[in-house]
Amino acid sequence: MSTVMPPTDAAPVRSAGPLRHIADLPGPRGWPLLGSLPQIKPPQFHRQLGEWAKEFGRFYKLRLGPRLILVVADHAAVAQTLRDRPDGFRRTDRLEAIGLEMGLKGGLFGVNGDEWKRQRRMVMAAFDPGHVKAYYPALQKCGERLAGRWQRAATAGANIDLQADLMRFTVDAIAGLAFGTDVNTLESDDDVIQRHLDKIFPKLFTRIIAPLPYWRLFKLPSDRELDRALVAVNAAIDGFIASARQRLAAEPARRAAPRNLLEAMLVAADEPDSGIDDEQVAGNVMTMLLAGEDTTANTLAWCIWLLHEHPQALARAKAEARSVMAEGGPVTLEHLAQLDYVEACMHETMRLKPVAPQLPLQALKDTVLGDVAVPAGTVVINLMRHDSLDDDFIPAARAFKPERWLGEGGLSPGSAKRISMPFGAGPRICPGRYLALQEMKMVLLTLLTHFDIASVGTADGSEPAERLMFAMAPVGLRMRLALRRD
């Protein structure tokens, strides 16, 4: 089953009537000077935006401090902003400024304009399909280690902190796939890199929406932890790059056949007139560590919980996985390619529980979204799942129905593909989407073929809360496994 890609050739949706201006739109009432900033609860910001969309409509205004923001809950307008990058929209200047102030080196995620175009060429060269196949043994090793970790937990009857274990897997996978480094937190319980990474995205998010830059005057304990984490992670990244350069120098043949993403990026950066130096490579290493850890682990946690909540879907996914691996042996890319229903479960999870439920962008030129005039410089917050949960656009929109992605049961995948855009759309679509899907398939295949799920849930049995700290994570999920009985 191929990766789901949103259409990219649809024309922008514009009103034939008179245009509205952002200042005239409805929106939540705010405080003088501060606007709605005092109302914002960072972990629930995405849900607040969604509730306001129900009250004020698919286009509404939001004042955060001195800035007047347009919030868009219309999927066609959202797709328009995504496709119109990098020339019409960019990441916000506040994201870029706060990231640089924190000491984050510029990577593909945060840079814009010509800098983005130069780095994009380097990163896409690293994600060339031929290179990706060469990286697979590192992913295979992580899958085997995860199976061993969960076998020990199942034998002991122990509760598994689902989020923590999945984070270990994604950190190990990214380090192996991307940098050729075997950190092996799955077997050693050494979570130093993970512990430092966990400080960065949440702090970046809270500083972006903070009403005042207090950290410039004094630092809280969490700010001091962030500083220490950035020093440690940047030192680790410098070590990854130095080791990769040593390997390339010692074995010149690696330049023709890089064995990991970092080597491929360095080879591309060393091309004449690439305009890329090691600091920009380091920025993309940081991006891969941060984005690759949180997004994949969170999607997997949501998917495992949803499967456990839907026994019929779990039974079908388990039957498919065990049929694919009926002859045993190590998991190959060919095995992963046969997991059609498992992949459908992943796409359905990303539709219902996208790890990026909102995406702020900034207009680079005057434009129109729907019937709203958008001046250059305007920040537009796109609500990524609003229409994905609306029965007017997707049948049984709030139900977990993986079969919709296979065109079964009278459900067409067309609307879901068009409206759900978990990897973005247009030129800035996530370059690592294929690898993310392979990682998720590896985890689910490991889980479904080796174990029976005894339980997945929170301590009090309630639905896991959604917590937004740049990426949207489930709170408090624990899992108990039993060794496979048949």
DSSP code string of 32-89? TTTBTGGG--GGGHHHHHHHHHHHH-SEEEEEETTEEEEEE--HHHHHHHHHTTTTTE
List the chain residues with pLDDT less than 50: 1-13, 108-109
Burial of 308 (0-12, 13-18, 19+ CB in 10 A): middle
Distance CA 369, CA 435 (A): 33
pLDDT for position 59: 98
pLDDT for position 416: 87
Q: For the chain, what is the domain count?
A: 1
Confidence (pTM):
0.88
pLDDT for position 206: 87
38 phi and psi angles, rounded to 5 deg: -65, -20
pLDDT for position 190: 62
Burial of 120 (0-12, 13-18, 19+ CB in 10 A): middle
Nearest to 285, CA basis, from 77, 90, 149, 119: 119
CATH number for the domain harbouring residue 184: 1.10.630.10
Domain membership flag for residue 13: no
Domain membership flag for residue 5: no
Range of the domain at 265: 20-483
Domain membership flag for residue 303: yes
- Residue 325's CB is within 10 A of a number of other CB atoms, namely 19
Q: Do the Cβ atoms of 280 and 119 come closer than 8 Å?
A: yes
Q: List the structure tokens of 322.
A: 């065990």
Domain membership flag for residue 9: no
Distance CA 457, CA 464 (A): 7
Q: Do the Cβ atoms of 43 and 15 come closer than 8 Å?
A: no
Nearest to 103, CA basis, from 243, 277, 214, 228: 228
pLDDT for position 108: 41
273 phi and psi angles, rounded to 5 deg: 65, 25
Domain membership flag for residue 332: yes
The DSSP 8-state label assigned to residue 387 in this structure reads: G
Q: Do the Cβ atoms of 366 and 375 come closer than 8 Å?
A: yes
CB within 8 Å of 445: residues ≥ 6 apart:
143, 321, 324, 325, 331, 335, 336, 339, 342
Domain membership flag for residue 411: yes
pLDDT for position 5: 39
Question: What confidence tens digit (pLDDT) does each residue in 401-417 have?
Answer: 999 999 998 888 888 88
